[in-house]
Amino acid sequence: MGTINGYASSKVEDFRWWRRIMNKFVMMDALLVGHSVIDTEHAGIIGIINDMVDAVQDRDLELCEAKWLQLQEAINQHFMNEEVIMADLYYVEKQHIQAHRKIVTDLDAIGKKCITIEDWGHCMENALHRIVDNILNHDLGFSKHLTGIKYKDY
Ligand SMILES: [Fe+2]
Ligand SMILES: [Fe+2]
């Protein structure tokens, strides 16, 4: 029984873990918000996460770290842009902004603890889940708002 980022792992669990990270993430229509900048940035973030899937599979620690920094930059930039876009269209949800701050702080903390390739794999998954969770629980609320104000830019 080994430990990866504090998670106990048996050989069977390790196998499941590798299978999961071998699957790249595909941006589904259900995650589209309907704002071209936001959707493009989400796709860009998912793209960096998929690059990290490759880096983890290749067991390239240097590339994992470089991609993680790129991912953090893209996420920070996206949250800033998204908050401005939403405020400009009179949609401000405090909890959403708080959720953004928590993601930034948490990802920064977990990234600093990464040593092994398995650590990076878990970081990558963690980032993916948090981003998708943010889209599902918050960004899609903005999507309804856009429909309500008949906003259409693509
Ligand atoms: Fe977003
Ligand atoms: Fe968001």
Kindly calculate the radius of gyration of the chain based on its CA atoms and give it in whole angstroms. 17
Dump the DSSP string for 108-139.
Answer: HHHHHT--SHHHHHHHHHHHHHHHHHHIIIII
| Confidence at residue 27, expressed as pLDDT on a 0 to 100 scale | 77
CATH number at residue 124: 1.20.120.50
How many residues are there in the chain? 154
Instruction: Match 């470089």 to its residue by tokens.
Output: 66
In a domain? residue 154: no
Rounded to the nearest angstrom, the distance between the alpha carbon of 38 and the centre of ligand 1 is 6
Distances (CA, A) of 81 to 4, 26, 129: 34, 23, 20
The boundaries of the domain holding residue 127 are: 2-148
- Does the pLDDT of residue 28 top 70, yes or no? yes
| pTM metric for this prediction | 0.84
Give the amino acid at 81.
N
Asked whether residue 40 is assigned to any structural domain, the reply reads yes
**153 inside domain:** no
pLDDT of residue 39: 94
**Residue 133: inside a domain:** yes
pLDDT band at 8; cut points 50, 70, 90: very low
Question: What tens digit of pLDDT does each residue of 90-134 get?
Answer: 999 999 999 999 999 999 999 999 999 999 999 998 998 899 899
Q: Give the ligand whose atoms come closest to the C-alpha of residue 35.
A: 1
Structure tokens at 105: 């702080």
Q: State the total domains in the chain.
A: 1
80: in domain: yes
User: Residue 2 above 70 pLDDT?
Assistant: no
- Ligand number nearest CA of 45 is 1
136 lies in some domain:
yes
Distance 96 CA to ligand 2 centre (A): 6
Q: Is residue 111 one of the residues assigned to a domain?
A: yes
pLDDT, tens digit, 9 for 90 and up, residues 34-90: 999 999 999 999 999 999 999 999 999 999 999 999 999 999 999 999 999 999 999
What does the pLDDT read at residue 30?
Answer: 84
Asked if 103 and 132 touch (Cβ cutoff 8 Å), the reply is no
